[in-house]
């Protein structure tokens, strides 16, 4: 069953009339993970924000976006707000900017959960505590009482994942969630994403330009170039036998570093140990 | 040659009236040989960027000495024409009111003897980093990330320094552009016979370009190892770090 179906999505700038994403259609099956790969400026984030309907007012979009059979483009802004967070969850690149800097992290979490589920304060604390422990965050209460600037990028990213676990959305959209993190935190956050998928029945859209990460997490992938989808298919097939020239270029350059690293490390793949 | 001897650095902690200081670097000592590419690897918050600032002389150590050929690196004259830098944030590294040409001329103007000689060499510099002369009149905001970073590298190379400190210079670029920049750095290294100090959290990139790698944790040097011996690292932390690489 398809969790999310996007058909004929077109995004253009209303001032200049420039088409940014010409004609894109794809779908995400339940419990599967779709990766969107491409260089910066290829329209990956634009597509994600179009699904969430969070693009700037000057960017117009057309086409159909079906979430569990409901057409999101036809919803009013008020109904859309109910969908965001509860059914569609977005995890952004920069954790520092995702939280309100003027209040402690807990306030944000309480606000979100109270809005969607109407839970009381104690209820929320108990649920968040459990979720935060499951993403390997030690001392959840202290984290909920600290400001975003007191936490590291990796911690904030995991707080967002914990919130996603509690919200139990149908679709999680992760827009470059690990790009701003260092190697160790990146590894830990990716592990949490993999667990998030196995634990919940959600579908996932994972946007990244890091092919090593994509290879590890995604079942299917889309390759975007200048707004258009140039190739799609199962991740394994694309890595072994890419059809499009651009994909081959991306895969070969992306794996150059890996091969060199593996050669130095004696050909043993260390990610699996 | 750059030598760092017993360097300590601490920053004042938060509050207005607290005397508490946070130790960022403690007892750092190492040598950088002419023409070598030394990688400095660490997690965020391990003090690698602070160390980069100290090497560039834009920040002063609390204790210890940093010497370039026996002279203090804090002294502008020591650094002039010897050390330059490329930073992570390419959008804020170029003066927004300058064209690419002006940006490239900036370090050359400071260099008296180079001023005339290099007037015509802007094209050549741009060519070396894979850009053509049509970029001369462009402004920083008209460039993509990879192009802007190339301009920054061209600017760092223009005075023909013997050492360039690259602080996370490729971290915010796309995978394919990263490779292009790494290749470019490798070529420039042989062309100008200079060395790099390559600060990064990306171990794969460091393994690709560096001769020697220094692993930093909480302001301490965990290990310094040649790239060929990277798989034989001794300390548990370094091993842990290498296992975390997603390939």
Q: Which helix (H) or strand (E) holds A219?
A: none
What CATH number did the domain enclosing A214 receive?
3.40.50.300
Are A152 and B202 an interchain contact pair (Cβ–Cβ within 8 Å)? no
Confirm if B124 and B150 have CB atoms less than 8 A apart: no
Nearest-angstrom CA–CA distance, B190 and A219 = 42
Whether A202 contacts A171, CB under 8 Å: yes
Residue B98 · residue B135 · CB < 8 Å: no
Q: Is A183 on the interface with B (CB under 8 A)?
A: yes
How many residue pairs bridge chain A and chain B with CB atoms within 8 Å of each other?
93
Contact B247 A184 (CB under 8 A): no
What is the Cα–Cα distance from B199 to B166, expressed in whole angstroms? 6
The whole-angstrom separation of Cα B84 and Cα B94 is 14
Closest partner residue to B230 (CB to CB) among A183, A209, A264 is: A264
What is the rounded distance in angstroms from the CA atom of residue B122 to the CA atom of residue B124?
5
The residue of chain A nearest to residue B201, with distances taken between CA atoms, is: A182
pLDDT tens sequence across A173-214: 998 888 777 777 788 888 888 888 888 888 899 998 888 888
Residue A271 has pLDDT above 70, yes or no: no
Owning domain of residue A71 = 2-271
> Could you tell me where the beta strands, DSSP code E, fall in B134-227?
163-167, 195-200, 212-217, 220-226
3-state secondary structure (DSSP) of residue A195: helix
DSSP string, A6-41: EEEEEEEETTT--EEEEEEEEEEETT-EEEEE--TT
Does residue B84 sit in helix, strand or coil? strand
**A43-47, A112-116, A250-254: range with lowest mean pLDDT:** A250-254
Mean pLDDT along residues A213-220: 89
Among chain A residues, CA nearest to B232: A265
> Which of A194, A249, A265, A268 to probe the B interface (max B CBs under 10 A)?
A265
Q: What is the pLDDT along chain B (247 residues), one digit of tens a residue?
A: 899 999 999 988 766 777 788 888 999 999 999 889 999 998 877 888 889 999 998 888 999 999 998 888 888 888 888 899 998 888 788 999 999 988 988 888 877 666 666 666 788 888 888 888 888 899 988 888 888 888 999 899 888 889 999 998 888 777 778 888 898 899 888 888 899 999 998 888 899 999 999 999 988 999 999 998 888 888 999 888 888 887 6
- φ/ψ of residue B27, rounded to 5: 50, 60
8 A C-beta contact, residue A136 and residue A145:
no
Predicted pLDDT of residue A125: 92
Nearest-by-CA chain A residue for B46 = A182
Phi, psi torsion values for B211, nearest 5 degrees: -90, -35
Which one of A181, A212, A264 has the shortest CB-CB distance to B207? A264
**What band does A269 get if pLDDT is binned at 50, 70 and 90?**
very low
Residue A137 or residue A173, greater confidence: A173
Instruction: Give me the architecture of the B2-82+161-246 domain, per CATH.
Output: 3-Layer(aba) Sandwich (3.40)
Region A243-249 average pLDDT: 88
Residue B14: predicted pLDDT: 67
- Report phi then psi at B123, rounded to 5: -60, -45
Rounded to two decimals, the ipTM of the complex is: 0.71
Tell me which residues of chain A, numbers 32 to 51, contact chain B at a CB-CB cutoff of 8 Å: 39-41
What are the residues whose beta carbons fall under 8 Å from the beta carbon of B157, sequence distance 6 or more?
Answer: B84, B125, B128, B129, B164, B188, B192, B194
- Three-state secondary-structure class, residue B110: helix
Residues B154, B159, B160, B166, Cα dihedral to 10°: -50
Would you state the pLDDT for residue A254?
Answer: 75
Query: Which residues of chain A does B201 touch, with a Cβ-Cβ cutoff of 8 Å?
Result: 182-183
Residues 6+ apart with CB under 8 A from B34: B1, B162, B195
pLDDT of residue B179: 87
DSSP alpha helices (H): ranges in B7-121?
Answer: 48-56, 76-79, 100-110, 114-117
How many separate domains does chain A show? 1
Which residues in B lie closer than 8 A to residue A39 (C-beta atoms)?
A: 174, 176-177
CB within 8 A of B150, min separation 6: which ones?
Answer: B129, B130, B131, B181, B184
The 8-class DSSP code of residue A101 comes to: T
Which residues in chain B are closer than 8 Å to A187, comparing Cβ atoms?
A: 244-246
> Which residues in chain A have their CB less than 8 angstroms from residue B246's CB?
186-187, 190, 210, 212-213, 216, 271
Q: Residue B234, class by beta-carbon neighbours within 10 Å (0-12 exposed, 13-18 middle, 19+ buried)? A: exposed
B-contacting residues of A 73-102, CB under 8 Å? Answer: none
The Cα–Cα gap between B238 and A91 comes to 30
Question: Residue A99's CB: how many other CB atoms inside 10 A?
Answer: 20
Binary contact (B45, A152; C-beta < 8 A): yes
pLDDT reported for residue A202: 84
The secondary structure of A50-95, three-state, reads HHHCCCCCCEEEEEEEEECCEEHHHCCHHHHHHHECCCEEEECCCH
Quote the radius of gyration of chain A (alpha carbons, Å): 19
For chain B, domain boundaries: 2-82+161-246, 95-160
Note the pLDDT of residue B40: 93
Q: State whether A184 and B43 contact (CB < 8 Å).
A: yes
pTM for this predicted structure = 0.80
- Please answer yes or no on whether B247 and A262 come within 8 Å at the CB atom: yes
Query: What is the average per-residue pLDDT within A74-84?
Result: 88
Contact with chain B for residue A264, Cβ under 8 A? yes
Is the Cβ of A57 closer than 8 Å to some Cβ of chain B? no
CB crowding B82-117: b at 16 or more within 10 Å, else e: bbbbbbbebeebbeeeebbbbbbbebbeeeeebeee
Is A8's Cβ below 8 Å from some Cβ in B?
Answer: no
Residues pairing with B82 in the sheet = none
Phi and psi torsions of B104, nearest 5°: -75, -30
Query: What is the chain B residue with the closest CA to A217?
Result: B246
């Amino acid at each position: 069953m398809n969790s999310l179906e996007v058909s004929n999505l077109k995004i253009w700038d209303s001032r200049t009339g420039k088409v940014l994403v010409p004609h894109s259609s794809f779908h995400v099956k339940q419990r599967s993970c779709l990766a969107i790969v491409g260089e910066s400026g290829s329209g990956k984030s634009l597509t994600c924000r179009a699904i969430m309907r969070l693009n700037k007012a000057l960017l117009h979009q057309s086409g159909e976006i079906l979430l569990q059979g409901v057409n999101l483009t036809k919803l009013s802004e008020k109904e859309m707000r109910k969908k965001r967070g509860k059914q569609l969850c977005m995890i952004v690149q920069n954790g520092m900017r995702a939280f309100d800097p003027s209040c402690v992290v807990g306030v944000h979490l309480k606000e979100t959960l109270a809005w969607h589920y109407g839970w009381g304060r104690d209820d929320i604390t108990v649920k968040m505590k459990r979720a935060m422990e499951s993403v390997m965050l030690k001392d959840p209460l202290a984290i909920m009482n600290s400001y975003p600037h007191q936490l590291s990028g990796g911690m904030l990213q995991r707080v967002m994942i914990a919130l996603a676990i509690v919200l139990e959305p149908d679709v999680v959209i992760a827009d470059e969630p690990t790009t701003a993190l260092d190697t160790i935190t990146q590894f830990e956050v990716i592990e949490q994403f993999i667990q998030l998928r196995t634990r919940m029945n959600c579908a996932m859209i994972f946007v990244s330009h890091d092919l090593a990460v994509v290879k590890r997490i995604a079942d299917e992938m889309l390759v975007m170039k200048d707004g258009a989808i140039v190739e799609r298919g199962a991740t394994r097939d694309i890595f072994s036998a890419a059809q499009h020239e651009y994909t081959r270029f991306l895969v070969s350059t992306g794996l150059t570093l890996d091969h060199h690293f593996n050669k130095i490390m004696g050909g043993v793949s260390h990610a699996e140990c | 040659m750059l030598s760092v001897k017993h360097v300590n650095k601490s920053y004042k902690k938060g509050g207005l009236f607290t005397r508490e200081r946070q130790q960022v670097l403690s007892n750092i000592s190492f040598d950088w040989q002419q023409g070598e590419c030394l990688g400095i690897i660490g997690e965020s918050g391990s003090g690698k960027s602070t160390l980069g600032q100290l090497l560039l002389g834009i920040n002063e150590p609390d204790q210890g000495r940093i010497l370039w050929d026996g002279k203090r690196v804090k002294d502008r004259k020591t650094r002039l024409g010897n050390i330059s830098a490329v930073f992570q944030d390419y959008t804020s590294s170029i003066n927004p009111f300058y064209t690419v040409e002006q940006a490239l001329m900036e370090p050359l103007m400071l260099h008296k003897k180079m001023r005339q000689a290099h007037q015509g060499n802007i094209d050549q510099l741009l060519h070396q980093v894979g850009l053509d002369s049509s970029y001369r009149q462009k402004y920083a905001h008209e460039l993509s990330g990879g192009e802007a970073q190339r301009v920054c590298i061209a600017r760092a190379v223009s005075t023909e320094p013997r050492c360039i400190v690259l602080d996370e210079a490729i971290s915010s670029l796309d995978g394919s552009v990263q490779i292009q920049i790494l290749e470019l750095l490798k070529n420039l290294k042989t062309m100008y016979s200079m060395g790099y100090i390559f600060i990064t959290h990306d171990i794969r990139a460091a393994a690709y370009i560096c001769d020697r790698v220094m692993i930093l944790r909480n302001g301490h040097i965990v290990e310094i190892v040649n790239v060929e011996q990277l798989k034989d690292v001794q300390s548990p932390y370094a091993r842990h770090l290498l296992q975390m690489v997603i390939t």
